[in-house]
Amino acid sequence: MKKVAVVGYGNTKFTKDELPIESLLLESTKQVFDTTKNLSQDLIDGVIVSTNDNSKYLGAILSELSGIKPKISHTVEHLCSSGSSAVISGFSYIASGLADTVLVTGADKIDNPGQILEWDKSRGEYNHPIYWASMFTKAHKRQFSTTDEELAIVSAKNHKQALDNPNAYSHKPYTISEIMNSKNVTDDLRILDCSYSCSGSSSILLTSEENARKFTDEPIWISGIGQKTNSASFTKNQLTKLSSTIVAANAAYKMAEIIPQEIDTAEIHDAFSVCELMAVEDLGLTEKNTGASYVRNLFNTEDRKINPRGGLIGAGHPLGATGISQIVEITQQLQNKAKKRQISNAKKGLVHNMSAAATSSTVIVLES
């Protein structure tokens, strides 16, 4: 299997703007061309789009708009983890030798249809994500005595970290008290404990080891990948652990031949505050039942290790772009180019992206 590197990237600002999906896709793709040395259209032989948008044939459309005539082009849809799933498709094409250099671009619009899984009739009329998030939160409070304050710390931390992310949807800091007193979405969920669907686009350029240094002096290697799908329906889920994440993380660590304690920084899927508390435990970054104290310590010491770009809560959640934007952040961190967000001496990073209440998860390990 060939080694695969991230050698270029682009990221639009995440906004409430209602832009055409094609324009969004092109915007972050243009940035890849603007910022990657020696890149020309003829060097790209794969174009993969990730989105939940209903528009068709977007791989080919983005290729045409970008002047690329790739061997491979298609769209990947996997709800909230469409982006990381598309990256794994691109990785696989290169690792297998089917392609040399692949552009992966994800985008969604603020009104994207990926938030509701119509098929899942077991959710009844309660098909919006706030309902599963409320169940997760209630069950977490019950089992681990988690408090509203501990949940609010996740949001306070990620909103604060997003202040230094120029592409973030939110540039407003919130106190723990403001978050705890924000509007009740349900009795167990505050509005500021939720990520927001928004418009945005992110791109990365992947290539093989033999090409990597043509495009960058600092290739970032994808060293570990793990994925797991348990179901599509929410109601089969366990409520106090992300079991698909546990499996995916173990596979990614095994492939990368590392242990969780070696991870210097991670972008994790904080769709709701409770998800971050669960994920830091289930990714093995801290012991079970210590997620809240772990995140509180990060907040109190201003340690940006987890979700340095602000996570989904701070940066926003344009579904098809999210997984790719997470990889862009970790790439910048490992290249020491994250500016005010920079984690000191980061060598190994992790991306955690999941769908539909963790019915499926993707974990990717990156290394400099």
Partner 1 sequence: MNKFESEIKTGNFVTSECIDCNKIVWPPSDYCDNCFMEVNWRRVSPNGKLIEWSKKNNSIFCIAEFENTIRVIGKLDSKNVIPKPGQLLKFISCSLKDQY
Closer residue to partner 1 in complex, CB, 189/306: 189
Question: Could you give the CA distance from residue 269 to residue 311 in angstroms, rounded to a whole number?
Answer: 7
Residue 58: which of 73, 40, 79 has the closest Cα? 73
The nearest distance, CB 334 to partner 1, in angstroms, is 39
The nearest distance, CB 123 to partner 1, in angstroms, is 5
Closer residue to partner 1 in complex, CB, 123/160: 123
123 binds partner 1 (CB under 8 A): yes
Q: Which of residues 217-276 bind partner 1 (CB under 8 A)?
A: 233-236, 239
Question: Could you give the CA distance from residue 27 to residue 31 in angstroms, rounded to a whole number?
Answer: 7
The nearest distance, CB 188 to partner 1, in angstroms, is 5
Piece in contact with partner 1 (CB under 8 A), picked from 1-9, 32-40, 104-112, 131-139: 131-139
Sequential DSSP letters for 51-62: ---S-S-HHHHH
139 binds partner 1 (CB under 8 A): yes
Question: Could you give the CA distance from residue 256 to residue 363 in angstroms, rounded to a whole number?
Answer: 11
Integer CA distances (angstroms), 69 to 25, 41, 44, in order: 16, 8, 8
Kindly write out the interface string for residues 177-196 of this chain, putting x where it contacts partner 1 by CB under 8 A and - elsewhere: --------xxxxx-------
Q: Which residues pair with 272 in a beta bridge?
A: 194
Kindly write out the interface string for residues 76-115 of this chain, putting x where it contacts partner 1 by CB under 8 A and - elsewhere: ----------------------------------------
**Matching residue, tokens 């040395």:** 37
The nearest distance, CB 236 to partner 1, in angstroms, is 7
Closer residue to partner 1 in complex, CB, 136/294: 136
122 binds partner 1 (CB under 8 A): yes
Residue 179: which of 191, 170, 169, 162 has the closest Cα? 191
Closer residue to partner 1 in complex, CB, 187/302: 187
Closer residue to partner 1 in complex, CB, 120/367: 120
142 binds partner 1 (CB under 8 A): yes
Among 7, 24, 135, 151, binds partner 1 (CB under 8 A): 135
Integer CA distances (angstroms), 74 to 78, 106, 364, in order: 13, 12, 21
How many residues touch partner 1 (CB under 8 A)? Answer: 24
State the Cα torsion 117-90-307-275 to the nearest 10°: 30
Integer CA distances (angstroms), 167 to 14, 68, 252, 311, 362, in order: 6, 26, 28, 12, 23
131 binds partner 1 (CB under 8 A): yes
Closer residue to partner 1 in complex, CB, 140/157: 140
Closer residue to partner 1 in complex, CB, 239/251: 239
Sequential DSSP letters for 243-293: HHHHHHHHHHHHHHT--GGG--EEE---SBHHHHHHHHHHTTSS-TT-HHH
Q: What is the contact surface with partner 1 in residues (CB under 8 A)?
A: 120-126, 131, 134-135, 137-139, 142, 185-189, 233-236, 239
